[in-house]
Amino acid sequence: MHKADVLVLGAGMVGVSTALHLQSRGRSVVLIDRRGVAEETSYGNAGLIQREGIVPYAFPRDLRLISQYALNLLPEANVHYGALPKIAPWLVRYFLQSSPEHVAATARGARPLVERCIIEHEAFMEAAGVIGMIRRTGYMKLFRSEEGLEEGLAKAEAVRKPYGVNYEALTPAAVADMEPHLRGPIAGGILMPDPASVPDPAAVAKSYARLFQEKGGRVMIGDARSLAQFPQGWEVETSEGRVRAQAAVLALGPWADDVFAPLGYFFPLGVKRGYHMHYRAEGNATLNRPVLDAEVGYVLAPMTAGLRLTTGAEFAERDAPATPVQLERDEAAAKEIFPLGARVDPEPWLGRRPCLPDMLPVIGPAARHQGLWFNFGHHHLGFTLGPVTGRLLAEMMTKEAPFTDPTPYAPGRFEA
């Protein structure tokens, strides 16, 4: 029998960060995952720390655009029609939460988290000895048409003053200066200067986990679905035997409902699936920063393993077989603007983004179970916000004054 103060279930960026913050506040912590550190969603993202990501990815309100998405006519989205009976209620809630008023409320809630994302990552990176992995080059939004560029600039200007989101408009010549190997139909771009990026997000998460272990933390393989309550707390079965603690944190991302639902909680947790593939570049071609092909809807990012192409969203059941049709479309589009070479990976990687309809995470205590805490639902910003929300939850759990009001992320906001 192993004992600790806290069990953290889920070893992605959110769980690892939560474990580190609790440990720094004097708690003994066991970090538990069925596969290991950063082997799921935190493994395959675009490596961005999105300091600009205050305004959420909203459901479109334009009927023409919605119809195009519904018919799978646009590469940035793919819908599994067979999944609609199950996912339609979530899509409706997502649509309703994407009104201008709700988007503004989400942005106000997200801002204090997003504003600290790089600060908290850099603190961990310094402590873990990997500060050299952070790249302060921002990222570029690339536009193929004048119409798309004008629309993109209008959106960027609309959030600049209200939320402090900086941007720089780029002419085609400025794009060429910054990224000389981009080619083809380029009307201009927008540089987002404040975000940072890393060349291997999984390696960053694993470095944080090593720091956690060096300071005495334990990482174990176990199934979170075995979580059970006993009179003094919570226990989980692991490959090293049963582990008990007074408190447990669900940091399970898209798998959180496997644990909270049997305990009688309802959260409208949806999943946006996505794919990535690594490529070689032809000749001596390079990218200096991640590039979002804004009118197509994918990101091309320089990574340790090659150029990583990450797709938009696939609306499907969480565990449905992979259908990487977006990757095929995006690959063809990417070759129009960059000399993309051969694939590196044997097959596409599939990840799952855990999304709540208001695009804010759930952070806080369970209403009906003493010692149970939630930290999940970070949508597109799990890698970005893991260290920030880990800090906030650790402050709440240790009765420290939280750095921001946790009310916008309260679990009870979804209860009738």
Tokens of 395: 């402050």
CB 290 within 8 A of CB 301: yes
* pLDDT given for residue 161 in this prediction: 95
Bin 49: left if φ > 0, else alpha if -120 < ψ < 50, else beta: beta
* pLDDT given for residue 122 in this prediction: 98
* pLDDT given for residue 118 in this prediction: 98
Q: What is the mean pLDDT of residues 348-375?
A: 97
CB 114 within 8 A of CB 294: no
H or E stretch covering 330: helix 325-337
* pLDDT given for residue 70 in this prediction: 86
Over 80: is that where the pLDDT of 415 sits? no
> SS3 letters for 344-369?
CCCCCEEEEEEECCCCCCEEEECCCC
Over 80: is that where the pLDDT of 21 sits? yes
Q: How confident is the model at residue 329 (pLDDT cuts 50, 70, 90)?
A: very high
Share of the chain above pLDDT 70, in %: 100
CB 294 within 8 A of CB 73: no
The length of the chain is: 416
H or E stretch covering 229: strand 228-230
Q: Which residues pair with 170 in a beta bridge?
A: 189
CB 338 within 8 A of CB 183: yes
* pLDDT given for residue 196 in this prediction: 98
Q: Cα 385 to the chain's mean position, in Å?
A: 8
What is the number of alpha carbons within 13 Å of residue 178 lying toward its C-beta?
Answer: 23
> What's the whole-number average pLDDT of the chain?
96
Over 60: is that where the pLDDT of 416 sits? no
**Intra-chain end-to-end CA distance of the chain, in Å:** 39
Q: What gap in Å lies between CA 206 and CA 216, rounded to an integer?
A: 15
* pLDDT given for residue 63 in this prediction: 84
* 33 three-state secondary structure: strand
pLDDT in tens, 389-410: 999 999 999 999 999 999 999 9
* pLDDT given for residue 375 in this prediction: 98
pLDDT in tens, 224-249: 999 999 999 999 999 999 999 999 99
Q: What is the mean pLDDT of residues 287-304?
A: 98
CB 248 within 8 A of CB 371: yes
Q: What is the mean pLDDT of residues 173-188?
A: 97
- For residue 351, count CB atoms less than 10 angstroms from its CB and return exposed for 0-12, middle for 13-18, buried for 19 or more: buried
Over 80: is that where the pLDDT of 293 sits? yes
Backbone CA torsion sign across 176, 180, 184, 186: negative
pLDDT in tens, 48-83: 999 999 999 999 888 888 899 888 988 899 999 999
Q: How confident is the model at residue 291 (pLDDT cuts 50, 70, 90)?
A: very high
Greater confidence, 311 or 415? 311
CA nearest neighbour of 382 among 8, 15, 21: 15
